[in-house]
Each structure stands twice: as structure tokens, then as C-alpha cells.
């Protein structure tokens, strides 16, 4: 057997010595630009967070950005127009396609007095909700047809959304759903809350989020002033 046939040629060694360094350099460049993009997104989110704190006069509770071992977490709390507001922009660590990814999320709640223990859920009128209606799932309709087509309303007081959801409120919710996918609002006990996986990085998104916060503030005021007796026969 000719052992020279089994020996790699000098040309192969030369190609390997060129290819592998270039390959690792490309990987390093891709990782660097990916990391830079993440840092830019973090800085944009941090700017949005600080603008929100200034707009609503909130005190920063936590302001940590992502490291190699921990995700970003931005928290603030304060009082706006006599009502407590808690705000959180944070990253969730998830596994997707066998890889760890960081998903930006937003969460906030307004504290309510809620003297009559209103329990309310306002969700998008998706396919599953439409299917649920056909099999008997309860949905409360208001006097706004477009609002009813877009949202699934569940409440322990049927009269509450019917009588308290004003035309202005319904129109605002329709607009926010169209332009910001702003839905999934929950009222339970002393909290009106919202949570969703999304990144807020632009001035337009900031303006829409403020508009959503102000609209839910109006809803919190409805809850505190609601009395079922005023609508009784």
C-alpha cells in the first residue's frame, strides 16, 4: 500500500490554515454585530423607560441591563393623578429551537379601589374566542358594534361594560388595537393590569403606549365610580 496516498497534501494544509481562521473571524463578526444590535435595542428601551418615568412622575425601583448571565429589568412605581402606577419593562429568558433567547415584555398596573369587586377581562376577538361563542362561551356586547367585533368582554357585572364603556373609550380601544395591538386587559380586586411580549423602542411606540396607559387610567376611574345600584330598575 502506498502510504503517500493517505497523507494530506501540502495544498490541503494551506487551504485549512486559511479557511479555519476566516471561518472563526466571520463567526466572531456575526456575534459582535448581533450583540451590538441587542445593546442598541436595550439603550432605546432604557430611553423609553426613562421618558415614561418622567411623563408619569415615577420613581425607579430597578434599572439593570442585560449581562451574560441575567436579562434586563426596568421597574418603576409612583402616583399619577392620585392613582398608583407600577411599570415594568423586562426580558424573559426562553428556549426556542434549542437556543436561549431573550424576549422583551411590558407589564403595568393601575391600583383601583374597586368598591364593588368588578372582575373584568378584555381580550382580542380571536379565532378561539369566536369558536367559543359558538359553543356557548359568554360574551358581553356593548352598543359599539366595531368594539364588539374586535374584543371579547367578560365581566361579573354585565351592566358595567354596557353602561360604563363610553363611545370615546371604545373608539380609543379600537384605535389602540389597530395600531398597537393593545388588548389583554384584566381587572381583579385592586389591580387593572396589562402584560404582553413586545419591544418598545421608537417614539411612535412610546406615544401609543402612553395613549394606552391613559385609556386604561380612564377605565380604572370607571371601576372606582361604578355602582350597580345606579342602573337598577
Strands (E), 81-184: 83-96, 99-111, 120-124, 151-155
Answer yes or no: are the C-beta atoms of 43 and 104 closer than 8 Å.
no
For residue 171, give the C-alpha cell: 373608539
For residue 74, give the C-alpha cell: 426596568
Q: For the segment 152-202, what is each residue's pLDDT rounded down to a tens digit?
A: 999 999 999 999 999 999 999 999 999 998 888 999 999 999 999 888 999
**Whole-number Å distance between alpha carbons of 68 and 64:** 12
CA distances from 114 to 118, 162, 189 (A): 6, 18, 7
Q: For the segment 61-113, what is each residue's pLDDT rounded down to a tens digit?
A: 999 877 666 788 999 999 999 999 999 999 887 777 777 778 889 999 999 99
**Whole-number Å distance between alpha carbons of 108 and 75:** 10
Kindly report the backbone phi and psi dihedral angles of residue 154, in degrees, each rounded to the nearest multiple of 5, phi listed first: -130, 130
| pTM across the whole model | 0.79
Amino acid at each position: 500500500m502506498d502510504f503517500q496516498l493517505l497523507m494530506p497534501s501540502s495544498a490541503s494544509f494551506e487551504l485549512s490554515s486559511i479557511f479555519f481562521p476566516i471561518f472563526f473571524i466571520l463567526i466572531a463578526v456575526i456575534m459582535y454585530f448581533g450583540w451590538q444590535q441587542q445593546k442598541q435595542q436595550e439603550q432605546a428601551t432604557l430611553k423609553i423607560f426613562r421618558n415614561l418615568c418622567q411623563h408619569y412622575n415615577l420613581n425607579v425601583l430597578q434599572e439593570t441591563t442585560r449581562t451574560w448571565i441575567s436579562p434586563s429589568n426596568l421597574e418603576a412605581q409612583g402616583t399619577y393623578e392620585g392613582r398608583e402606577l407600577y411599570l415594568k419593562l423586562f426580558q424573559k429568558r426562553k428556549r426556542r429551537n434549542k437556543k436561549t433567547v431573550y424576549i422583551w415584555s411590558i407589564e403595568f398596573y393601575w391600583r383601583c379601589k374597586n368598591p364593588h369587586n368588578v372582575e373584568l377581562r378584555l381580550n382580542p376577538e380571536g379565532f378561539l374566542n369566536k369558536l367559543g361563542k359558538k359553543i356557548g362561551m359568554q360574551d358581553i356586547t356593548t352598543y359599539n358594534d366595531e368594539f364588539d367585533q374586535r374584543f371579547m368582554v367578560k365581566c361579573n357585572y354585565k351592566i358595567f361594560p354596557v353602561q360604563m364603556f363610553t363611545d370615546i373609550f371604545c373608539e380609543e380601544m379600537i384605535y389602540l388595537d389597530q395600531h398597537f395591538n393593545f388588548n389583554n386587559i384584566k381587572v381583579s380586586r385592586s389591580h387593572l393590569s396589562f402584560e404582553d411580549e413586545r419591544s418598545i423602542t421608537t417614539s411612535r411606540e412610546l406615544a401609543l403606549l402612553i395613549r394606552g396607559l391613559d385609556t386604561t387610567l380612564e377605565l380604572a376611574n370607571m371601576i372606582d365610580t361604578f355602582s350597580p345600584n345606579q342602573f337598577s330598575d
